């Protein structure tokens, strides 16, 4: 009995001490994030990988690209809250709204280990009670993310700037022979993503920030997504915000990195169009 008790205490300490260290370190770092942008940057490009690789913000004096690969709307919302709080000059947001952001299983990435690398570790110190409850309902997943991903991220070193103005160019070119239809699979629905996109819309309205939803250039999206579902989802839930659908924006194969993303040449072409049209 004594041996069992000692083992229980030992394993409890083994679990609780690293957890406390992680939580305290995360809160310390997150409280020292500098959310301030240069005064002339009043336009934000936000969202996931299509914006990341599709908008070269070195060409837009007024704009800054703060998107992140695989970023879901909950994390974007948290980021936007802090950016608007510290930067009163922000007046426009271009928000990625791709088919996978609205599809039937858009919430998957909140709970997949590979998708949460670099998100859970950075953002959990900024969670409010609503966001903690979301992960509490899947406590085993949250526990796994906290330990396996967060510890690894701390070992690697976490970049608590949360964003970067340095555009990461891609140089590959699309080979059409390699494009294959890959059906989407998932299990979690779209309640979370829809909820936080609506919160983003409400926040922008409250702060008098012009919001555009953007569907970036895409090679034959119908091969990968049910586009009728996408447009119905937008029309039914978010049509109060203008959707800039550039999925059929004309780019050549050597301006695409793959079916889903532009390369550096395509990004220059797409960004120049946005810059001219929206005076960026």
For residue 204, the model assigns a pLDDT of 98
For residue 127, the model assigns a pLDDT of 86
Which of 113-117, 231-235, 240-244 shows the lowest per-residue confidence on average (mean pLDDT)? 113-117
At 256, list the tokens.
């695409």
Dist. CA 31–CA 49, nearest whole Å = 27
pTM summary value: 0.86
Residue 233 to residues 38, 45, 97, 100, 101, Cα–Cα distance (Å): 36, 22, 11, 11, 10
Residue 102 to residues 106, 116, 236, Cα–Cα distance (Å): 6, 19, 11
For residue 153, the model assigns a pLDDT of 59
Contacts 24+ apart (CB under 8 A), 183-187: 184/100, 184/103, 184/104, 184/105, 184/224, 184/225, 185/105, 186/103, 186/104, 186/105, 186/106, 186/107, 186/108, 187/105, 187/108
Residue 156 has pLDDT above 60, yes or no: no
Ordered domains of the chain (ranges, CATH): 1-32+119-157 (no CATH), 38-107+166-278 (3.40.50.1110)
């Amino acid at each position: 009995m004594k041996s069992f008790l000692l083992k229980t205490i030992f394993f409890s300490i083994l679990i609780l001490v690293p957890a406390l260290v992680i939580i305290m370190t995360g809160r310390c770092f997150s409280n020292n994030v500098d959310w301030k942008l240069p005064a002339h940057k009043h336009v934000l490009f936000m969202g996931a990988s299509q914006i990341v690789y599709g908008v070269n913000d070195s060409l837009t004096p007024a704009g800054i690209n703060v998107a992140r690969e695989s970023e879901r709307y909950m994390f974007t919302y948290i980021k936007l809250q802090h950016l608007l709080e510290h930067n009163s000059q922000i007046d426009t947001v271009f928000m990625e709204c791709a088919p996978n952001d609205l599809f039937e299983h858009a919430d998957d990435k909140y709970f997949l280990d590979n998708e949460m690398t670099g998100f859970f570790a950075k953002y959990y110190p900024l969670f409010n009670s609503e966001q903690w409850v979301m992960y509490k309902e899947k406590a085993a997943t949250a526990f796994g993310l906290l330990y396996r991903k967060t510890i690894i991220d701390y070992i690697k070193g976490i970049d608590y700037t949360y964003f970067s103005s340095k555009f990461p160019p891609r140089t590959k070119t699309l080979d059409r022979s390699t494009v294959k239809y890959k059906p989407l699979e998932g299990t979690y629905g779209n309640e979370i993503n829809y909820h936080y996109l609506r919160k983003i819309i409400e926040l922008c309205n409250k702060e008098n920030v012009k919001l555009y939803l953007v569907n970036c250039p895409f090679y034959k999206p119908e091969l990968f997504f049910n586009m009728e579902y996408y447009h119905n989802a937008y029309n039914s839930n978010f049509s109060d915000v203008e959707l800039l659908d550039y999925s059929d924006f004309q780019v050549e194969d050597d301006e695409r990195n793959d079916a889903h993303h532009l390369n550096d040449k395509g990004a220059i072409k797409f960004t120049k169009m946005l810059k001219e049209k929206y005076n960026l």
